[in-house]
Amino acid sequence: MKLWQNLAAAAVLGLAATAPAAETGVHAFTLNLNDGSPKKLSDYRGKALLVVNTASKCGYTKQYAPMEQLYQKYKDRGFEVLAFPANNFMGQEPGTNEEIRAFCTATYKTTFPLFAKISVKGDDIHPFYKYLTTLPGFDGDISWNFNKFLVDPNGKVVARFGTKVDPMAEEVTKKIEETLPKKP
């Protein structure tokens, strides 16, 4: 009996030693894609990310075009744009996930990942956005649609850009260039 207990304990310890370390930063989160399927943000480990809260009926909705342009420019160098539709500002994202996807692909020909609609502020803020908006140096409520967080390949937020900053602005592209994964 003692032998079996020791073998069982050794097996558990062996498994624990080979289990991956707990995810940190944005990689610790799993959110639903626009089609409802879960997506681990750890799947993006090794890539730079631009996380953006979006809306289809906002004065800044036209930023979908430069977001796609940015994605096309850098995707082959380890970069992703992650769009998170939210209806937190004057009802400017009233559509269903299906309607949002149809709008984005038909109007802006977007090909970057589109996530399910979430809340980015208020009492029902999604834990992911609660995390983003409480990070020292990047903290503060989401002020409007199209706030942007730049995340390094290790899952650490390295920059935050406001609504009015165009995704293709030099300050954004320069920081992306600095953040892209380094070639071996």
pLDDT at 16 over 90: no
User: Distance between CA atoms of 67 and 140, rounded to whole angstroms?
Assistant: 23
The better pLDDT of the pair 176, 6 is held by 176
Q: What mean pLDDT comes out for the span 28-37?
A: 97
Q: Which residues contact 63 (CB under 8 A, 6 or more apart)?
A: 52, 54, 146, 166, 167
Full set of structural domains in the chain with CATH: 25-179 (3.40.30.10)
Contact call for residues 58 and 88 (beta carbons, < 8 A): no
**pLDDT attached to residue 42:** 97
User: Distance between CA atoms of 102 and 104, rounded to whole angstroms?
Assistant: 6
Catalytic residue, chosen from 58, 135, 158, 169, is 58
pLDDT-based confidence at residue 22 (cuts at 50, 70, 90): confident
Q: What mean pLDDT comes out for the span 152-160?
A: 97
104 is catalytic: no
Closest CA to 150 of 172, 126, 168: 172
User: Distance between CA atoms of 31 and 43, rounded to whole angstroms?
Assistant: 11
Q: What is the 3-state secondary structure (H, E, C) of 151-182?
A: ECCCCCEEEEECCCCCCCCHHHHHHHHHHCCC
User: Distance between CA atoms of 89 and 117, rounded to whole angstroms?
Assistant: 13
- C-alpha distances in Å from residue 122, one per residue of 5, 104, 133, 141: 51, 25, 11, 9
**pLDDT attached to residue 21:** 52
Angle, helices 64-74 vs 170-179, to 10°: value is 30
